[in-house]
Structure 1
Amino acid sequence: MPADYDKGAYPEPPRQTPVVDKQTALPNPALILSKLFYYSVDLPVTTFRDAVDSIRAKNKIVYYHQKFRRVPDLTECKEGDYPCYYEAEMQWRRDYKVDQEIVKVIQERLRACQQREGHSYQQNCAKEIQQFNEVTKNFQSRYGDLGAYASARKCLMKQKERMMAAQAQNA
């Protein structure tokens, strides 16, 4: 409200918060405990975290380029070595995701070239088309027909069957 309003016509509204009616001269124990907690626990922890965050802000680590060490393949695991089986399975899943992303990137490059070149893309994007066909053929030969529950073991069996079929064809 402006400072020069008519106080008779517009009286001040009543206050919403009631006046504290102190019954005792003793301090409030909840207030004492909250202040004690704040100064003994919260303030030091917050100050330490802020100091650590300021140091980490200078030395940012890029987490999306995490590098995992290569682990042995399923063929190199000894019989009954379940941790080795698990690590090989996780390695296969990471490789599968990387191969999927490679196919997506090559596909995006091909689409961008087709968009850029228009009707003459067959001629001008021959290199991208050939690269896309090669990548999809390799992806299909490795991961195709594995189904929804693909695993390193299924992929290994598919590779073994493909090698046996090629060997029988050569013989």
Structure 2
Amino acid sequence: MPQDYDKDAYPEPPRQTPVVDKQTALPNPALILSKLFYYSVDLPVTTFRGIIEGIQGDKKSHYYHQNFRRVSELTECQEGDYICYYEAEMQWRRDYKVDQEIVKVIQERLRACQQREGPSYTQNCSKELQQFNQVSKCFQSRYGDLGAYASSRKCLMKQKERMMAEAQNA
């Protein structure tokens, strides 16, 4: 600062940070609980995990992606094989979620193209629009009108009814 500044308008800053006056002599309970959690739970778990990872070496397992083997579908299950029914149902639910995500990704691509192109998106985004129409039509034909309690059995019955209707019309 220059030497000729107005000392009333701009007082000189303090030389040291002032010490906060404590209102009580009791320790902070949040600090005590966080230290207690750290030393009783966090530290032993992290130490144990570090030891295990050191033993495993190069064989690191990744927890972010799980691969499921494909199992037989509901039509291939033997009558009364409840384990097969359950596995087919779980596979159907995974496929349903994957198909939902595919529709979301295609829809996001279409929206991004619409945002980028503006009013002329119908002409410039025709490929994305056609792809979205195809994907949404397939999703609707497979999963549409199943209701809130959708299951692989309901989906199979819907597919059977659709095939019978096509056979009658042909």
**Is TM more than 0.5 here?**
yes
Cα distance 1:166–1:45, how it changes in 2: closer, same or farther (>3 A)?
A: closer
**1:154 matched to which residue of 2?**
154
Cα distance 1:45–1:163, how it changes in 2: closer, same or farther (>3 A)?
A: closer
| TM-score where L is the length of structure 1 | 0.69
Cα distance 1:130–1:58, how it changes in 2: closer, same or farther (>3 A)?
A: same
The structure whose Rg is larger is 1
Q: CA deviation at 1:51?
A: 1.9
State the identity as a percent.
76
**2:119 matched to which residue of 1?**
119
- Classify the secondary structure of the residue corresponding to 1:63: coil
How many residue pairs match? The answer is: 131
Q: Distance in 2 between matches of 1:120 and 1:54?
A: 58
Amino acid at match of 1:97: K
Q: CA deviation at 1:67?
A: 1.1
- Classify the secondary structure of the residue corresponding to 1:68: coil
**2:36 matched to which residue of 1?**
none
Structure 1, unmatched stretches of 5+, are 1-15, 18-42
**1:96 matched to which residue of 2?**
96
Q: For 1:51-84, what per-residue CA distance to the aligned partner results, in whole angstroms no more than 9, with x for missing partners?
A: 2245679765443331100000000000000000
Are positions 1:82 and 2:113 aligned together? no
Structure 2, unmatched stretches of 5+, are 1-24, 27-42
Q: CA deviation at 1:46?
A: 6.6
Q: Distance in 2 between matches of 1:57 and 1:133?
A: 49
Higher mean alpha-carbon deviation, 73-82 vs 59-68, is at 59-68
Amino acid at match of 1:167: A
Amino acid at match of 1:155: C
Q: Is the 8 A contact 2:103 2:132 kept in 1?
A: yes
Q: Distance in 1 between matches of 2:138 and 2:130?
A: 12
Amino acid at match of 2:115: Q
**2:6 matched to which residue of 1?**
none
**1:7 matched to which residue of 2?**
none
- Classify the secondary structure of the residue corresponding to 2:64: helix
RMSD: 2.6
Q: For 1:86-136, what per-residue CA distance to the aligned partner results, in whole angstroms no more than 9, with x for missing partners?
A: 000000000000000000000000000000011111000000000000000
**2:166 matched to which residue of 1?**
166
Amino acid at match of 1:84: C
- Classify the secondary structure of the residue corresponding to 1:147: coil
Q: Distance in 2 between matches of 1:121 and 1:44?
A: 58
Q: For 1:17-62, what per-residue CA distance to the aligned partner results, in whole angstroms no more than 9, with x for missing partners?
A: 9xxxxxxxxxxxxxxxxxxxxxxxxx99875433224567976544
Q: Distance in 2 between matches of 1:145 and 1:72?
A: 25
Q: Distance in 1 between matches of 2:114 and 2:108?
A: 10
| TM-score where L is the length of structure 2 | 0.69
Cα distance 1:157–1:45, how it changes in 2: closer, same or farther (>3 A)?
A: closer
Q: Distance in 1 between matches of 2:124 and 2:67?
A: 37
